Amino acid sequence: MKIIIYCLPGLGDTIMFTPCLRLLRQKFSEAEIVALTMFSASYEVLKDNSYLNDVILWEFLIKPKLQSLKFLCHLRKQKFDLSIMPFPAYRRTYNIVSFLVGAKKRIAHCFSKGYLTQFTFLNTKAIPINEELHNAKNNLNLLTLLGINLSHDEPKLDLNPSEDDKRFAHTFLSSLQLSGKDPIIGVHPGSIHYRRARHKRWPKEKFASLCDRLITQYKAKILIFEGPSERGLAKEIADLMRNKPIIIANLRLGQVMAIIKKCHLFIANNSGLMHIAAAMGTPVVVIAGPTNPKWDGPWGVKHRIVRKTLSCSPCYTYTLPYFSCQRKDFACLYEVTVEEVLEKVKELYNRKYYDRQISEEVNYG
C-alpha cells in the first residue's frame, strides 16, 4: 500500500498533524508512507520522522506552474492508494493537487462552506470539522475514516531533535556561562509573513520592554529566536533593550528545536516555533491576538494564553483568505500590555522547577 500525506500549510499545521503519524504506521505497518511539503521548515521537522518512508519538498509558491504540473504528473505515476489532507486545508489548490496526484482514496475535512468553490468535492471521502476541537484533534478524527480507533489518551506532538542537534545545543548553551540558577527564557517575536500574517506579531517595542523586565525580575537569560522571514527583527528588539539578549538566528531548524528544548519557558506569538516549544515539552506563554487558541494553541504542554477579550475576537477563521480586522486596529493583539504577559509568566514560573531543570540540564561544568 502506498500513502501520501499533503503537509502543505505552514510549520505549525504540519506539527499539529504529527500525533497521527504513529497511529498511521501502527495501522499500515507495511505501507510506504510519503509526506509532501511545500515549505522548507515543514520538510525539516518531518525528514527524520521514523514513521515516514520519505519526505518530499516541492515549493509550489516559487516554482513555475508548468514545472509543478510536471512534478504532479510524476507523483501520479507512483499510483498511490491513499492520500490524506491534514487540517486545516481550506484551499482549492490543495484539493486540486490531491486530485491531480490521483490516489484511489482521497480523504480530507469538509468545512461549513466551500464544498464547490474550494473543490472539496474532489475528495472521495470527507469528515466535517468540529469547531470546538483543537486542530490536532480534528486531524486525529480524520483517521477514523480509515478505521483507526482513537483512545481516550491524546497522543503528543511527535517531534525530536537529532543527537547531533542535541550535542550542538549542549555546546552552545555551555558557552553562555550560566550561573546555574538563572532561567533560560526563549522569546519568538515573529511569525510567518504572508497573507498579512504579520498581524499575529505583538509590537517589537513591547517585546523589548518585556525582555528587560524578565531580566530584572527573574535574572533570566533571554534567547530571542529569529526565522528566515524575520531578518533583522531580533536585532531591532535588542537595540531597544537596556540589557542585551542572545540572538538565535541562521541555525538549522533541528538546532533551534534542541535549544528550545533546553529553555525553561518560551514566550511567543502564535507561530511555528510556539508549536515546536510545545512539542519539546517547554512551558509556553502565547500572545494570541486574532487567532483562536482553542484551535491552534499549544498542544499537550503547560501553557498560558494572553489576549484581549473583545466581542469581535477571535475573528480569524480558516475560511478567510487572510487576516483582517473589522475595527481596523487589531486591538486584540496590539493592546495586550507587558504587565498582562508578565502575569502569565508568573503563573507558570516555579522557582523549584527551574532550579531542578537548570542543575540537571544546563549546568555543564
Q: pLDDT tens for residues 125-170?
A: 999 999 889 999 999 999 999 999 887 778 889 999 999 999 999 9
Is the per-residue pLDDT at 33 higher than 60?
yes
Instruction: Using pLDDT thresholds of 50, 70 and 90, give the confidence band for residue 321.
Output: low
Is the per-residue pLDDT at 200 higher than 50?
yes
**Domain range holding 113?**
2-146
Is the per-residue pLDDT at 342 higher than 80?
yes
Residues 100 and 190 in one domain: no
Per-residue model confidence as pLDDT tens digits over 221-257: 999 999 888 889 999 999 999 999 999 999 999 999 9
Tally the domains of the chain.
2
Distance (Å, whole) CA 364 – CA 348 = 25
Residues 352 and 311 in one domain: yes
The last residue of a domain, from among 115, 146, 177: 146
Distance (Å, whole) CA 291 – CA 297 = 9
**Predicted local distance difference test score (pLDDT) of residue 113:** 80
Is the per-residue pLDDT at 290 higher than 80?
no
User: Which residues make Cβ contacts (< 8 Å) with residue 177, sequence separation at least 6?
Assistant: none
Residues 247 and 329 in one domain: yes
Mean pLDDT of 301-307: 92
Distance (Å, whole) CA 259 – CA 9 = 24
Place of cell 533571554: 222
Is the per-residue pLDDT at 311 higher than 80?
no
User: Is residue 157 domain-resident?
Assistant: no
Percent of the chain with pLDDT over 70: 87
Greater confidence (333 vs 323) lies with 333
The last residue of a domain, from among 83, 116, 146: 146
Contacts of 229-237 with CB under 8 Å at 24 or more apart are 229/190, 229/192, 229/193, 230/189, 230/190, 230/193, 233/189, 233/190, 233/204, 234/189, 236/204, 237/189, 237/204, 237/207, 237/208, 237/211
Residues 132 and 170 in one domain: no
Residues 12 and 50 in one domain: yes
Residue 217 CA, chain-centre distance (Å), reads 29
The mean pLDDT of the chain is 87
Residues 264 and 208 in one domain: yes
Residues 236 and 351 in one domain: yes
Q: Is the dihedral of CA 66, 68, 74, 76 positive or negative?
A: negative
**Predicted local distance difference test score (pLDDT) of residue 307:** 86
Sheet strands side by side (includes 32-37): 54-57, 32-37, 2-7, 82-84, 105-110, 125-128
287-304 burial by CB neighbour count: b if 16+ within 10 A, else e?
bbbbbbbebbbbbebebb
Residues 205 and 315 in one domain: yes
Residues 190 and 108 in one domain: no
Residues 229 and 344 in one domain: yes
Return the minimum-mean-pLDDT range out of 6-20, 43-57, 316-330: 316-330
Q: How far is CA 358 from CA 28, 211, 263, 364, in A?
A: 41, 20, 9, 10
Instruction: Using pLDDT thresholds of 50, 70 and 90, give the confidence band for residue 118.
Output: confident
CATH number for position 279: 3.40.50.2000
Is the per-residue pLDDT at 218 higher than 50?
yes
**Predicted local distance difference test score (pLDDT) of residue 357:** 47
Distance (Å, whole) CA 260 – CA 271 = 14
Contacts of 313-317 with CB under 8 Å at 24 or more apart are 313/289, 314/288, 314/290, 315/290, 316/290, 316/291, 316/292, 317/292
The last residue of a domain, from among 112, 146, 180: 146
Residues 174 and 228 in one domain: yes
Nearest to 45 by CA among 191, 260, 361: 260
User: Is residue 288 domain-resident?
Assistant: yes
Residues 78 and 227 in one domain: no
**Strand pairing of 125-128 and 82-84?**
unpaired
Is the per-residue pLDDT at 328 higher than 50?
yes
Instruction: Using pLDDT thresholds of 50, 70 and 90, give the confidence band for residue 198.
Output: low
